[in-house]
Amino acid sequence: MKFDLKTLEEYSDDALLAELRRVAETLKGQRLSIDRFNSLSRVHSTTLRYRFGSWRASLEKAGISEEIAPRQRVLSRAQVVQCLRDFAERNAGASVTRDAIAAQLGVHATTLTRRFGKWENLLAAVGIPPVPLGRRYTDEECFENILALWTHYGRQPHFAELNQTPSTVGSKAYVRRWGGWRKALGAFVRRVNETEQGSETQPRPEESSAPATPPVPDLAVPRSINLSLRYTVLSRDRFRCVLCGASPAKDVATELHVDHITPWSRGGLNVTENLRTLCLRCNLGKGSRIENAQPSVAADAPQASRR
């Protein structure tokens, strides 16, 4: 076996870097590690370190790519924290899991806990709740859910029913927001009562005294019926269809809607006198367009096979 002379003729910066490049080239694409270098080079890696500051700096100065000398993935706490913040921002509501962050950083999940200790501690340092909270609900969503349950059961819903279908907002959300179910119900009733006045007396756009204005839909007077009115109408009608008497309490498949007696499109107002409770079937059945429409059975029916 023939070895090259284990010394360089000169030890200028250029000579050292040339030696580094030479070793890298002899590897023909294989990974260049410090150990590898020391076994093949005529200078020791410490010489390079002293001259250029570090092994990494030497590689950079020599223009050796990361492909040949892969950087040891050094994760700083700041990097991980930044990644956590970015992830939480981009995925609002999602729980920030160790696996998700590890994938983001391109490391193994255990690397994170090995380097930074308990995952919960790291989350706490960033100010991210360690326990996934799930989705945050607005007051409006909480109240809508109460109304949906009230309609479903035909009565005031119970606490336990918050965690059963058809509830879409769990009991924890109410406790967190209002401190308890009774208080949440109190807030619901207050909302119903406070918005009951005012909304009924709001003028429709065509009634406003602005003759020059073209009749464009005014979003201030919505076609939709607010929560308070819907509650008022539903409870007045005892959570039953006023036409056929169907109720979700008797048949869970029943879907109740608050309907305009004089359609909104024909000037019907959002007032209790013009509103009634209908089940979906009766609500659809009353529409003349739907009544006259013949379902195209022939088109959908499977063709009889000829013999």
Closer CB to Zn ion, residue 53 or residue 285? 285
- 243 is an interface residue for Zn ion by CB under 5 A: yes
Specify the residue, 175 or 243, whose C-beta has the smaller distance to Zn ion.
243
In this chain, which of 244, 253, 284, 290 binds Zn ion, going by CB under 5 A? 244
- Which one, 64 or 233, has the nearer CB to Zn ion? 233
Q: Look up tokens 């819903």; give the residue.
A: 157
Cα 262 to Cα 137: distance, rounded to the nearest angstrom: 34
Nearest approach in angstroms of CB 161 to Zn ion is: 24
Does the protein bind Zn ion through residue 189 (CB under 5 A)?
no
Instruction: Give the number of residues in contact with Zn ion, rule: CB under 5 A.
Output: 6
Options 13-21, 60-68, 76-84, 243-251: segment touching Zn ion (CB under 5 A): 243-251
Contacts for 6-14: CB closer than 8 Å, 24+ residues apart:
6/42, 7/42, 7/43, 8/42, 8/43, 11/43, 11/47, 13/51, 13/52, 13/61
- Which region, judged by CB under 5 A, interacts with Zn ion, from 24-32, 96-104, 235-243, 298-306? 235-243
User: Based on CB atoms, which residue is closest to Zn ion, 83 or 241?
Assistant: 241
Task: Residue 279: count other Cβ atoms within 10 Å of its Cβ.
Answer: 24
253 burial (CB, 10 Å; 0-12 / 13-18 / 19+) is: exposed
**Mask of contacts with Zn ion, 91-120, x by CB under 5 A?**
------------------------------
Q: 264: which strand partners?
A: none
Site string for Zn ion, 56-95 (x = CB under 5 A): ----------------------------------------
Least distance CB 243 / Zn ion (angstroms): 5
Nearer residue to Zn ion within complex by CB, 41 or 151: 151
Listed residue (259, 268, 270) closest to 228, CA to CA: 270
Q: Is 241 in the site for Zn ion (CB under 5 A)?
A: yes
**Residue 93 contacts by C-beta under 8 Å, 6 or more apart in sequence?**
134, 135, 136
Closest CB 271 distance from Zn ion, rounded Å: 22
Query: Whose CA is closest to 221, among 242, 207, 237, 238?
Result: 207
List, as one string, the DSSP characters of 206-231: GGSS-TTS--PPPTTS-SSPPHHHHH
Q: Which stretch binds Zn ion (CB under 5 A): 31-39, 66-74, 121-129, 237-245?
A: 237-245
DSSP line for 56-100: HHHHHHHT--TTTSPPP----HHHHHHHHHHHHHHTTTS---HHH
Which CB, 56 or 281, lies closer to Zn ion?
A: 281
User: Considering the complex, what minimum distance in angstroms separates the CB of residue 240 from Zn ion?
Assistant: 8
Count Cβ atoms below 10 Å from residue 95 Cβ, excluding itself: 15
**Binding of residue 225 to Zn ion (CB under 5 A):** no
CA atoms within 13 A on the CB side of 82: 6
Query: Smallest distance from the beta carbon of 242 to Zn ion, in angstroms?
Result: 8
- Restricting to residues 254-283, name those near Zn ion by CB under 5 A: 279, 282
Could you list the residues that contact Zn ion (CB under 5 A)? 241, 243-244, 246, 279, 282
